[in-house]
Amino acid sequence: MVRFRIFIYTFISILLYGCDSQPIPTSMPNKMGSIQSRGIIQETSLPVESEALFNISGGISLTNQIFTFDGTSWKPSENLSYSVNLQESTLTAIYPAYNKDENKLIIENPYVDNSLEDILIAQKSFTDASNIELTFRHLFSLLTIHIESDLQEDVEAIAVTTPKVISMNGTDGTFTTSGEYTTTLSKDGTGDFSFIIPSINNCQLTITFNPGINEITHTLTHDFISGYKYECNVVDEDTRPGIKDADDLIDFSKLINGEISKDNWSKFGYKEGEDTIYCLLNDIKIPDTESNPFNPIGDHEKTPFSAIFDGKGHTISGVKISAANGIAGLFGRITPTGVIKNLQLYNFSSPPITGSASSGVGLLAGVCYGTITNCSVTKSTITVETNYPTGGLIGHLRAGGKILNSYVQNTTITSAGYIGGLAGEVKQANIINCYVASNDIKAVTYSGGIAGSTNQCNITNCYKYNITFNISKNRGQIIGKGENSTIDHIFYDLDNQKLIYDKTNETSTQTNIEQYDTSTFKTTNDNIEIYKLLNQWINNQGTASNLFTLWKSKDDLPAVFQ
Higher pLDDT: 492 or 5? It is 492
What is the architecture, at CATH level 2, of domain 246-561? 3 Solenoid (2.160)
Is the pLDDT higher at 472 or at 390?
390
**Band (221; pLDDT cuts 50, 70, 90):** confident
The answer, yes or no, to whether residue 561 has pLDDT greater than 90, is yes
Mapped onto helix, strand or coil, the DSSP state of residue 84 is coil
Report pLDDT digits (tens) over 446-463: 999 999 999 999 999 999
Using the predicted structure, report yes or no on whether residue 201 has a pLDDT greater than 60.
yes
* Position 85 confidence tier, pLDDT thresholds 50, 70, 90: low
CA distance 403 to 248: 26
Determine the 3-state secondary structure of 337 from DSSP.
Answer: coil
Model pLDDT for residues 168-200, shown as the tens digit of each residue: 999 899 999 999 999 999 887 777 899 999 999
Contact 59, 88 (CB under 8 A): yes
- Residues in CB range of 77: below 8 A, 6 or more apart: 65, 66, 67, 68
- Cα–Cα dist 373/184, whole Å: 36
pLDDT level of residue 258 (50, 70, 90 thresholds): very high
Residue 39: the pLDDT is 45
* Dihedral of the alpha carbons of 194, 197, 201, 202, in degrees to the nearest 10: -70
**Lowest-confidence region among 124-133, 248-257, 359-368, 488-497:** 124-133
Residue 84: pLDDT band by 50, 70, 90 thresholds?
Answer: low
Average pLDDT, integer, range 147-163? 85
Q: What SS3 state is found at 254?
A: helix
Sign of the CA dihedral running 101, 103, 106, 107: negative
Give backbone dihedrals phi and psi of 209, rounded to 5 degrees, phi first: -90, 135
Q: Where in the chain is CATH 2.60.40?
A: 6-138, 141-234
CA distances from 406 to 236, 342, 435, 495, 515 (A): 30, 9, 7, 25, 21
What was the pLDDT predicted at 133?
73
Confidence check: pLDDT of 132 > 90: no
Sign of torsion, CA 471 452 550 525? positive
Distances (CA, A) of 188 to 114, 344, 378: 17, 36, 44
Q: Which residues of 329-362 are buried (b: 16+ CB within 10 A; e: fewer)?
A: bbbbbbbebbbbbbbbbbbbbbeebeeebbbbbb
pLDDT, residue 463, reads: 98
Looking at per-residue confidence, does 26 or 493 come out higher? 493
**Strand partners for 443:** 415, 471
Q: What is the pLDDT of residue 17?
A: 33
Q: What is the rounded CA–CA span in Å between residue 457 and residue 394? A: 14
Q: Provide, rounded to the nearest whole percent, the portion of the chain with pLDDT above 70.
A: 88
Mean model confidence pLDDT for the chain: 86
Would you give the distance in Å from CA 12 to the centre of its chain? 15
Alpha carbon distance 534, 531 (integer Å): 5
pLDDT at position 330: 96
Work out the end-to-end distance of the chain between its first and last CA atoms, rounded to an integer number of angstroms.
46
| Beta-bridge partner residues of 477 | none
Give residue 77's pLDDT: 76
More confident residue, 68 or 552: 552
Q: Give the pLDDT band of residue 31 (cuts 50, 70, 90).
A: very low
Report how far residue 469's alpha carbon sits from residue 310's, in angstroms, rounded to the nearest whole number.
Answer: 33
Query: 425, 350, 356: which is closest to 390 by C-alpha?
Result: 425
Q: For residue range 381-435, what is the model confidence (pLDDT) as tens digits?
A: 999 999 999 999 999 999 999 999 999 999 999 999 999 999 999 999 999 999 9
Predicted local distance difference test score (pLDDT) of residue 501: 96
Query: Rounded to an integer, what distance in angstroms lies between the CA atom of residue 172 and that of residue 299?
Result: 56
- Euclidean distance between CA atoms 17 and 36, whole angstroms: 8
Residue 311 has what pLDDT?
Answer: 94
Q: Count of residues for the chain?
A: 562
- For residues 91 and 2, give the distance between their C-alpha atoms in angstroms, rounded to a whole number: 15
Cα–Cα distance, 115 to 113 (Å, whole number):
6
- Say if residue 471's pLDDT is above 60: yes
Check residue 281 and give left, alpha or beta (phi > 0: left; psi -120 to 50: alpha).
Answer: alpha
pLDDT band at 557 (very low <50, low <70, confident <90, very high): very high
Would the pLDDT of 289 be above 70? no
Whether the CB-CB separation of 334 and 303 falls below 8 Å is answered with: no
Question: Is a pLDDT exceeding 80 seen at residue 483?
Answer: yes
Q: With bands split at pLDDT 50, 70 and 90, how would you rate the model's confidence at 290?
A: low
The residue-averaged pLDDT of 345-356 equals: 90
Return the closest-CA partner of residue 492 out of 412, 435, 543, 414: 435
Is there a contact between 488 and 512 (Cβ–Cβ < 8 Å)? yes
Tell me which of 21-25, 218-222, 401-405 is least confident: 21-25
Q: 560 with 487: CB under 8 angstroms? A: no
Instruction: Identify whether the C-beta of residue 342 lies closer than 8 Å to the C-beta of residue 561.
Output: no
Q: CA-CA distance, 451 to 396, in Å (whole number)?
A: 10
Q: Which of 1-5, 138-142, 323-327, 342-346 has the highest mean pLDDT?
A: 342-346
Structure-model confidence comparison of residues 544 and 513, the more confident one: 513
Percent of the chain at pLDDT exceeding 90:
54
Question: What's the confidence (pLDDT) of residue 239?
Answer: 61
- In the chain, list all ranges with CATH 2.160.20.110: 246-561
Residue 43: what pLDDT? 58
The strand pairing partners of 458, in sequence order, are: 430, 486
- pLDDT for residue 15 is more than 50: no
**Full DSSP string of 192-207:** EEEEEE---TTEEEEE
- The secondary structure of 87-145 as a DSSP string is --EEEEEEES-EETTTTEETTT--EETTEE---EEEEEEES-TTSEEE-EEESSEEEEE
pLDDT higher for 227 or 346?
346
Strand, helix or coil for residue 554: strand
Residues 177, 165 contacting (CB under 8 angstroms) = yes
Q: Which CATH number fits domain 141-234: 1.10.150, 3.40.1710, 2.60.40, 3.40.50?
A: 2.60.40
Q: What class is the 6-138 domain?
A: mainly beta
Residue 8: the pLDDT is 28
